[in-house]
Amino acid sequence: MNSAVDVLPAPSIEYAQLSPMLIVFGVAVAGVLVEAFAPTRYRYGGQLVLSIGGLAAAFIAVVALAGTRVSAAVGAVAVDGPALLLQGTILVVSALAIPLIAQRTSVGVAADVAVGSTAPGGRNVLDAFTSAAATVPGSENEQTATRAGVIQTEVFPLVMFAVGGMLLFPASDDLLTMFIALEVLSLPLYMLCGLARRRRLLSQEAALKYFLLGAFSSAFFLFGAAFLYGYAGSVQLDEIAAAITAESGDRTFALIGAGLVSVGLLFKIGAVPFHYWIPDVYQGAPTPITAFMASATKIAAFGAVLRVFYVALPGLKDDWRPVMSVVAIATMIVGSVVAITQTDMKRMLAYSSVAHAGFILTGVIAVSRDGLSSTMFYLVAYGFSTVGAFAVLTLVRDDSGEVTAMARWAGLGRRSPTVAAVFALFLLAFAGIPLTSGFVSKFAVFQAAASGGAVPLVIVGVLSSAIAVVFYIRVIVVMFFTEPDADAPRVVMPNLATSVTIGITAAATILIGIFPQPLLDLADGAAVFVR
């Protein structure tokens, strides 16, 4: 008896189009194998070469794919202009953050996580050196920090897994893939936030808060995806858009789903009222990890926001634009006003990040090609400035470690004028002062929002920017026009890698502000989704 057997065709996987993500995930897996099998003395060098080499190879793959507009992996992943531009930016800022994370002295994560642990030979690392900032090359202090740092090389594969999730997040073309990318980028970050054993309780509290609130936000996202699937019968973004456009009746499920998905995304970008985790996590996490999170995660999250609202939900824009406008206004005002009251540098930059999330949302709300291109431009410029600002924070230290209390920075401009001047440059860029990247970024998103009819949003944005200038200028006044304390912190001499990171980010902040047109043209040319 013959029986017909239905054979499902094998899915078509476009490996070349997915190569940037495959390279990063491959490097992450290789990093796990290095941790498992490589001798201890080879792990640090091997992990560092793998991480930098993998990010460089992935960036080359992104450049090679420029101009590609395809839907890959059976429609799960979009390879188009916005995805490639944001992926390239994520790779660049991650490569700039890796040298900070990889510091083998106390400036970076490797030694910071080792304080309180026991180094080989039975000596406690905290006993081995009384001043983390006073490590002398070739001394026992440096050798102890190095030995401790080698033990903590698991940070490298964790970072690479997070980067891989960030690359997939803005390129996801269906909600299920987007949820998987959200979890892949989030889980390593939860662990990385808890690695600052120098501030053990604060760091572990930050990791726990981030994990619990992140789990809630992920649940909202997944529940929203279920509602949208129930409405459209598909998790594909273009099919959801087609169902919304075709359906003229009851859209209750679509609106509920859009709202719940928005909660998950707004949590990741740190918008009000889902911003409460940001100051605690930014303060408690190791500063190099904070630099990585504050730049790369925000870029990836806004990429997902753009794809959801521009590809899946344009048919509901009359419903979500008023809500998102209120969120953007609240985010700008709360971030700018609360930042004035902060006395800790990392918390001040955290609330600054909240305010910038509101500024970037003004570009999203434009729902136009100008809004898309200006938002991507803003993300590129903001990513460079953020990594640079947190890199400078790692250099100001005393005997107890990093000094983030604003009052302790008094007179820094007199003792270390170069470091203070570079930090002032980043602050002026955040404030949107002309001839910096921040000015062009804000002008671009405000112009796009005004063209899209969101003039009240622009007015609030300009006023919030004026308020923000207050706390940025206050830091500059403290550094240059205030007498230093007798026990003022010292500035650690950065090594070559840290100097390169700070130099590149400072140069990018200036060049984008003076010559913005090439980047504006690049963003405009990339502002076309595949669907």
- List own/partner pairs for 134-142 with CB under 8 A and 24 or more apart: 134/399, 135/105, 135/106, 142/105
Question: What is the pLDDT, as a whole number, of residue 142?
Answer: 37
> Which among 34, 58, 29, 59 is positioned nearest to 47, based on CA atoms?
34
Residue 82 falls inside a structural domain: yes
Structure tokens at 98: 């890796």
CA 250 and chain centroid, separation? 38
What does the pLDDT read at residue 509? 95
Query: d(Cα 251, Cα 313) in Å, to the nearest integer?
Result: 12
What values do phi and psi take at 418, rounded to 5?
Answer: -70, -50
Tokens of 169: 């997040």
Q: Do the domain assignments include residue 434?
A: yes
Read off the tokens for 409.
Answer: 């920075």
382 in Cβ contact with 356 (< 8 Å)? yes
Give a yes or no: residue 143 inside a domain. Answer: no
* DSSP for 417-445, written as a single string: HHHHHHHHHHHHHHHT-TTSHHHHHHHHH
Q: How many residues does the chain have?
A: 531
CB 352 within 8 A of CB 335: yes
**H or E element at residue 149:** helix 140-151
Structural domains counted in the chain: 1
The segments of the chain whose pLDDT lies below 50 read 1, 105-150
Looking at the domain assignment, is residue 505 inside a domain?
yes
Is residue 137 domain-resident?
no
Is the peptide bond between 273 and the residue preceding it cis, with omega within 30 degrees of 0? yes
pLDDT for the residue 90: 96
Report which of 468, 345, 347, 351 is spatially closest to residue 410, judged by C-alpha positions.
345
Q: Report H helices in 38-80.
A: 40-64
Residue type, 108: G
Say what angle helices 437-451 and 417-431 make with each other, to 10 degrees.
0
Q: What is the pLDDT of residue 113?
A: 43
Contact residues for 138 (Cβ-Cβ < 8 A; gap 6+): none
What is the token pair recorded at 527?
A: 């502002």
Whether residue 201 is contained in a domain is answered as yes
Residue 4 within any structural domain of the chain:
no
d(CA 428, CA 420): 12
Q: Which residues contact 406 (CB under 8 A, 6 or more apart)?
A: 342, 343, 344, 345, 348, 474, 475, 478
What is the Cα gyration radius of the chain?
A: 23
What pLDDT, on the 0 to 100 scale, is given for residue 450? 93
Rounded distance, CA 346 to CA 274, Å? 19
Predicted confidence at residue 5, as pLDDT, reads 54
Please name every residue paired with 401 in a beta bridge, in sequence order, or none if there are none. Answer: 398
Residue 156 falls within a domain, yes or no? yes
Amino acid 379: pLDDT: 96
Domain interval for residue 396: 19-113+152-526
Q: Could you report the per-residue pLDDT of 318-357, keeping only the tens digit for each?
A: 899 999 999 999 999 999 999 999 989 999 999 999 999 9
